[in-house]
Structure 1
């Protein structure tokens, strides 16, 4: 099974585990040179951050790409008034999962819920968000389903809108839930290096 293969890939990676500020931080180094870093809440075991990076063909270390968690902020200082910055009123897209669902939040969407349409596009293996007023359009994949080669199911999809934020949820399939539980058991076996909170 494909999800079994992905679990095996994770198990075969070189892993380092740290404890810092109430989080279990896991760093994976894969055989192909890619890196993945994850943060889990030590109390709830919920995934807070997952990010990836890889070296360029010339061997230069790439930037971290966030898959789950708050988008990385620009390193430009706020005092650089001549630097062009994204407007703080622009929509902000981020993924923040729950134990039972993949979940995406898009902040700064100032339209009523009935303007939004959220659907699955099986042929493109993606979820599409659009508005009837043509003010917002977003197409995105679910990497977890891609890695496990699982189909997208429109009945697993739902959305709500509150406080100018659109929340899109996709119920995790049983295969994903069992793989996550197995992985968490593995991660808890790793020796955690404690990093003092002042670091």
Structure 2
């Protein structure tokens, strides 16, 4: 039986808080986020700004040694990706843990990827086979996501990557309306990032995978 390549897009489930909690949080001041540990850590972090076409990348270095990269769409002013640098158990450079996350598994007849926390509708995606690089390219028409999915199984056997073997589905699209406090913080923080001047040369540690 001919093995096909399957890509499944899904989003993580979210916890819906009880009604009483929702009612109580609605009374919180929209500027309350400025008193949170998270917001203060963003303010205190060392920040570097990079601009690439319609993307603005912010690299953070926190006081506790952690590193984070956020990517914003300049037109929509919406964050489209966040990555954390995870230090290995034995030290070293570590790896980048990217949101959205990609997981991989094999089934009896398919090679399968699941991309989580990527909530755009199915018509937004373009999924194509790149036989030259032996990878599957997933991109969105709104330019908020781009990912190369490597297929080493085919490369090892020198098997061509065929577009006809790609299947895609979109499932479990769970949305949670952003509270007003979160909307206010998103707006406020993007204004703060405008004060971070872009640099011309791209530092190596700002290139999130």
Instruction: Please report the TM-score for the alignment, with normalisation by the length of structure 2.
Output: 0.49
The answer (yes or no) to whether the contact 1:55–1:61 under 8 Å persists in 2 is: yes
- CA–CA distance in structure 1, aligned partners of residues 201 and 76 of structure 2: 20
The answer (yes or no) to whether the contact 1:95–1:105 under 8 Å persists in 2 is: no
Name the CA shift for 1:56/1:32 in 2 (closer, same or farther; >3 Å): farther
Match of 2:199 among 189, 193, 199: 193
The answer (yes or no) to whether the contact 2:86–2:94 under 8 Å persists in 1 is: yes
Structure 1 residue 167 displacement after superposition: 1.3
The answer (yes or no) to whether the contact 1:3–1:176 under 8 Å persists in 2 is: no
Structure (1 or 2) with the larger CA radius of gyration: 2
Partner of residue 7, structure 2: none
The answer (yes or no) to whether the contact 2:102–2:113 under 8 Å persists in 1 is: no
The answer (yes or no) to whether the contact 2:88–2:95 under 8 Å persists in 1 is: no
Instruction: Please report the TM-score for the alignment, with normalisation by the length of structure 1.
Output: 0.52
The answer (yes or no) to whether the contact 2:68–2:82 under 8 Å persists in 1 is: yes
SS at match of 1:59: coil
Partner of residue 60, structure 1: 92
Match of 1:47 among 61, 75, 79: 79
Name the CA shift for 1:32/1:104 in 2 (closer, same or farther; >3 Å): farther
Structure 2, unaligned stretches of length 5 or more?
1-31, 123-168, 203-209
Name the CA shift for 1:187/1:46 in 2 (closer, same or farther; >3 Å): same
Partner of residue 4, structure 1: 35
Partner of residue 168, structure 1: 174
Q: Which has the higher contact order (CA 8 A, sep 6+)?
A: 2
Q: Name the Cα RMSD after superposition.
A: 3.4
Partner of residue 71, structure 1: 102
- CA–CA distance in structure 1, aligned partners of residues 114 and 94 of structure 2: 23
